[in-house]
């Protein structure tokens, strides 16, 4: 057989390509083990009192400000390669002067227990129920981000008396395409990521500063917040940091059919805040609103999954108007919020910067807005992009 035959060409070509790739991989594994600091100093994510409590999911950290009185507000960050309570910082700072505010570090993130374990939606559900009942101790307004909206919904379905309301920022589970779950495929993918030889080196590739900037940029319509990016680097360079994120990357932290099984059945008043998102889309939002009259939705533009970072006044105004509509005792209400609640989400882009995008709770308006969102390239559902904040 000629050395120039296709078979020999492929054989020797593959060898010539594989050798440098293997050498590069071996070099990165060695660099990860010997040169990267996996225990950097981690300052508090928020300038507030830090506490810890023993939960069903292990010891969890949280931040609290009890300066003001009123109905408690609980903030739940998203799940990604570098998540922490820092993601909810703008809302914590905004509301701490008017009501008690809590921000939890979920299991596997921030200051909470990061042990090697089987992270699952049930684990997060139970941790939130435990936190709300054992620590908060009163029906709370809960704001969750991205995939944590699913955890909060599961917790509210299990223990509705612990919730006064739910607000979901760019929630997952509303895309037309099903995703994730405890499938054999998800377990195989997780097992491949989680081999001890390359678990840490693979994770280290995801949380380099350039990688974190890239993924965060996908969640910002404007410039990435430098403080958020810096803290993402710090919190991702801690002992045990890869365990929960690798479960997430494998798709195991999503709940299949959550729109039907949970969202459509929630008895807790729920507000969805959304626009475009690089990781999810919202085609099923009108369906959920049509099936569950307790749901409302508002589109705040232009945002890419983190409206509370880029459009804090509009996001806060939407939340306050939502709580005000639930009756007295929902916390401080900004009376400057305009009364008109029928603006077309499609016209939001023409509004003056800083002016709240108004709510349209009709199923038809939500369908049009969700359709428009889903037609944007950045809104396509792409499971392989679930490695850094989404506000999945």
Q: CA 213 to CA 206: how far, in whole Å?
A: 10
Sheet of strand 295-299, all strands in order from the earlier edge strand to the far edge: 49-55, 58-65, 101-104, 73-76, 140-145, 163-169, 270-274, 295-299
**In 3D, which of 118, 90, 71 has the Cα closest to residue 309?**
90
- 261 within a domain of the structure (yes/no): yes
- The strand ranges marked E within 162-314 are 163-169, 270-274, 295-299
pLDDT of residue 384: 38
Q: CA 56 to CA 374: how far, in whole Å?
A: 38
Our count of domains for the chain comes to 1
List, for residues 81-130, the tens digit of each pLDDT value.
999 999 999 999 999 999 999 999 999 999 999 999 989 999 999 999 99
How is residue 159 written in tokens?
A: 């223990």
- 15 within a domain of the structure (yes/no): no
Q: Output DSSP code: residue 57.
A: T
CA angle 177-274-112, nearest 5°?
85
- 39 within a domain of the structure (yes/no): no
Q: CA 364 to CA 372: how far, in whole Å?
A: 12
pLDDT of residue 184: 63
Return the SS3 of 222.
coil
- 255 within a domain of the structure (yes/no): yes
CATH number at residue 239: 3.40.50.1820
Per-residue pLDDT of the chain (392 residues; tens, 9 = 90+): 444 455 554 445 545 545 555 566 667 577 677 789 999 999 999 999 999 999 999 999 999 999 999 999 999 999 999 999 999 999 999 999 999 999 999 999 999 999 999 899 999 999 999 999 999 999 999 999 999 999 999 999 999 999 999 999 999 999 998 776 666 665 565 555 555 656 798 899 999 999 999 999 999 999 999 999 999 999 999 999 999 999 998 889 999 999 999 999 999 999 999 999 999 999 999 999 999 999 999 999 999 999 999 999 999 999 999 999 997 444 433 333 333 333 333 333 333 333 344 444 445 555 555 555 444 433 333 333 433 343 34
Q: CA 18 to CA 360: how far, in whole Å?
A: 56
Q: CA 173 to CA 286: how far, in whole Å?
A: 13
Partnered with residue 167 across adjacent β-strands are: 143, 271
- 240 within a domain of the structure (yes/no): yes
- 28 within a domain of the structure (yes/no): no
pLDDT of residue 103: 98
- 4 within a domain of the structure (yes/no): no
Distance set, CA 120 to CA 51, 123, 174, 250, 299 (Å): 24, 5, 19, 11, 30
Range of the domain at 185: 49-385
- 35 within a domain of the structure (yes/no): no
């Amino acid at each position: 057989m000629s050395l120039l035959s296709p078979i020999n060409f492929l054989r020797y070509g593959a060898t010539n390509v594989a050798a440098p790739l293997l050498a590069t991989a071996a070099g990165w594994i060695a660099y990860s083990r010997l040169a990267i600091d996996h225990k950097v100093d981690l300052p508090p994510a928020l300038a507030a009192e830090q506490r810890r409590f023993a939960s069903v999911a292990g010891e969890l950290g949280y931040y609290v400000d009890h300066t003001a009185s009123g109905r408690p507000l609980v903030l739940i960050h998203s799940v990604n390669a570098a998540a922490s309570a820092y993601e909810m910082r703008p809302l914590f700072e905004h509301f701490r002067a008017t009501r008690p505010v809590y921000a939890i570090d979920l299991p596997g993130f921030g200051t909470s227990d990061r042990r090697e374990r089987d992270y699952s939606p049930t684990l997060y559900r139970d941790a939130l129920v435990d936190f709300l009942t054992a620590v908060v101790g009163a029906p709370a307004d809960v704001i969750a981000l991205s995939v944590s909206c699913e955890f909060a919904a599961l917790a509210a379905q299990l223990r509705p008396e612990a919730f006064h309301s739910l607000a979901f920022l760019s929630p997952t589970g509303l895309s037309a395409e099903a995703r994730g779950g405890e499938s054999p495929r998800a377990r195989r993918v997780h097992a491949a990521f989680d081999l001890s030889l390359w678990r840490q080196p693979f994770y280290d590739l995801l949380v380099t500063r350039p990688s974190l900037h890239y993924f965060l940029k996908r969640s910002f319509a404007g410039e990435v917040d430098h403080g958020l990016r810096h803290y993402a680097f710090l919190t991702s360079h801690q002992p045990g940091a890869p365990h929960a994120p690798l479960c997430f990357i494998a798709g195991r932290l999503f709940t299949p059919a959550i729109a039907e099984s949970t969202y459509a059945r929630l008895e807790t008043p729920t507000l969805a805040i959304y626009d475009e998102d690089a990781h999810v889309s919202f085609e099923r939002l009108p369906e959920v609103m049509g099936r569950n009259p307790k749901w409302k939705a508002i589109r705040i533009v232009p945002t890419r999954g983190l409206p509370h970072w880029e459009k804090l006044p509009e996001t806060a105004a939407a939340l306050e108007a939502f709580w005000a509509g639930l009756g007295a005792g929902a916390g401080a209400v900004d009376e400057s919020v305009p009364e008109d609640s029928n603006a077309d989400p499609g016209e939001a882009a023409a509004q003056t910067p800083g002016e709240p995008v108004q709510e349209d709770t009709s199923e038809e308006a939500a369908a049009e807005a969700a359709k428009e969102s889903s037609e944007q390239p950045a809104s396509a559902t792409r499971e392989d992009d679930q490695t850094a904040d989404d506000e999945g």
